Structure 1
Amino acid sequence: MSYQASPFLTLLPFEIRLQIYAEVLSSHTILLHLTNNGESLTVPRDLLALKLLSLPLTCHQISAETLPLLYTTNTYTLHTPTALRYLSRLPCNPQIRTLHFTFPLPHLPYFTNLPHTLSPPTNLNLIDNPKNPLQPQDLTWIESWDLLQQMHGLKKLQVDLDVPIFWRRNWAASEEEMLSWIEGSGTGVRELVVGVLWDECEEVSASGGRERFGMKDGRGERRWRVERVQKKEENDVWQREWGYLADLSMSA
């Protein structure tokens, strides 16, 4: 839609405009990733090819009317903790309703020993404290859940745990501790799915892993659930691990 066409759209009744906005802007999955310099978030070229942003950019009035819909009716996808950190700082943060976050886990934290909050300043200097043997990955895990907790408008959250294949069995053995830690993190989202990659579903369930956990609804049933997904192919595990380490260095 061009700028010249915008006056016609603004002459339509507001209810009709909302229907048009919803048809064009709703129910998309929007991947946000870091720019090359790692200093801000951007959208991929395939999203720009959809011209999804052309309508909000038509004029100030249409921008004001469409931006809330753009944030509340679409699913936003993030693949790194640093991307989540940038998203949490944006003014649109309270308007986001659905988020899909992939969290890389290259080591095995001991959840029973991890705090749910960190005393300021939250930085990698804490790992040098002999009384607080936290690792950089622990700090990133705790900080990420703290940021998710602060997204007060969030209604649906999926967190996929991206675990290297040679550590999945250890993670499967610690699943119950991990879910208990998430329960105690204070996350208030009503609909939470934790996606795990380990494959021994029957073995995990028999050893205490839970398919449902966390908050209870009005019927006394737990709202949150574990989703067991098929094992991903490891295309280039070293490239992914180095990318994760680079991501950690940005939080220092």
Structure 2
Amino acid sequence: MSTLLTRRHRRRAHLPNSQAQSLLFSALPVELRLHIFGLVVVHGSPIPLAAEGPRNGLTLTLQTPGIGGPQVKALRATRLLSLPLTCARAHAEALPLLYGGNTFSVGDPAVVRLLAAGVGALLLRRFDISWTLSNPPSPPPTARSQQPKKSWTASLWRNWGHRGGKSSKEWREWTETWEALARLERLQWLRVELSVSPFWTSGWQEREAEILQPLKNVLREGAHGELNITWERDVQRLVAAEEMLNGWVVDRQVKGL
């Protein structure tokens, strides 16, 4: 446990919620207590997260005891939540361990954005994101290449347009998800798997550089990123994910090969 984290916990001992009457908090050394808490809230394998309920009522972060609880559908073990919700002091000490010590497995971009906006955002370190995708998000006209597109996918994109419909909404959600990850100051490890339906493979392949552009700013210095994609590289294009995403390991696992 870092010295900084230990100092923060010692400062909390002087707060009104220090639980001085409890032997757990008053007699047990902070280093030993945090080790015990870590055994409870840190899981050895990735923790799958999924949100439920209406979109405007979603929350995946631990709230202050007495103001409601987390609406989490798929935490692997309920014991991960039971300890932090016992009291305010346990919540304050276990929260950095819960968010900073676990790898979170996510399959929904809305979950990523919710976590990045929650109380654990400054503590999150590891993400494993696996998305099954269909049609590629269509960038706004100013972000698209000026080269003429003659393929059937380009025609489809032009027909959808950018008038606030499905196409522009998907692009906004796509970029907001990567922007949310880029705001995670302590993110150290990120694995992303983009599994694309064969019906839409050519669209992703043709616009790979445009679509993956938001990933460029996600990793901070020293962080590690892995990108697994299920389409071949377009040999006619000089710029691809391998050249564009510095600090990432790119693996193309093409379906059917």
Q: Are 2:24 and 1:30 equivalent residues in the alignment?
A: no
Question: Which AA in structure 2 matches 1:227?
Answer: D
Contact 2:140 2:162 in 1 (8 A): no
Instruction: Provide closer, same or farther for how the CA distance between residues 91 and 176 of structure 1 changes in structure 2, counting only shifts above 3 A.
Output: same
Superposed displacement of residue 144, structure 1: 1.6
Give 1:141's aligned amino acid: W
2:101 paired residue number: 73
Alpha-carbon shift at residue 231 of structure 1 (Å): 4.1
Larger Rg over CA atoms: 2
1:15 to 31, 40, 61: 31
- Following the alignment from structure 2 to structure 1, what is the Cα–Cα distance between the partners of residues 137 and 168? 8
Please state how far the C-alpha of 1:135 moved relative to its aligned partner. Answer: 2.6
- Runs of 5+ unmatched residues, structure 1: 1-5, 117-125, 216-222, 233-252
Q: CA RMSD in A?
A: 3.5
Residue 40 of structure 1: aligned partner:
58
Q: Deviations over 1:194-232 (max 9, x none)?
A: 22123x4xxx385655557533xxxxxxx2121334749
> 1:146/1:115 Cα in 2 relative to 1: closer, same or farther (>3 Å)?
farther
Contact kept in structure 2, 1:212 and 1:224, CA below 8 Å = no
Q: Provide the residue aligned with 1:228 in structure 2.
A: 252
TM-score (normalised: structure 1): 0.65
Residues 113-140 of structure 1, C-alpha deviations (whole Å, 9 max, x = no match): 5649xxxxxxxxx9327xxx96322222
Shift in alpha-carbon separation, 1:114–1:77, aligned structure 2, 3 A: farther
TM-score (norm 2): 0.63
Q: Tell me the equivalent position of 2:150.
A: none
* Partner secondary structure for residue 76 of structure 2: helix
> SS at 1:76's partner residue?
strand
Count of paired positions: 202
Q: Which amino acid aligns with 2:100?
A: T
Alignment pair present for 1:128 and 2:193: no
Q: Distance in 1 between the 2:189 and 2:50 partners?
A: 20
Q: Confirm or deny that 1:143 pairs with 2:176.
A: yes
Evaluate the alpha carbon distance shift between residue 139 and residue 114 of structure 1 in structure 2; reply closer, same or farther with a 3 A threshold.
Answer: farther
Instruction: Quote how far apart the aligned CAs of 1:158 are.
Output: 2.1
8 Å Cα contact 1:76/1:99 also seen in 2: yes
Sort the Cα spacing of 1:61 and 1:136 in 2 relative to 1 into closer, same or farther, 3 A: closer
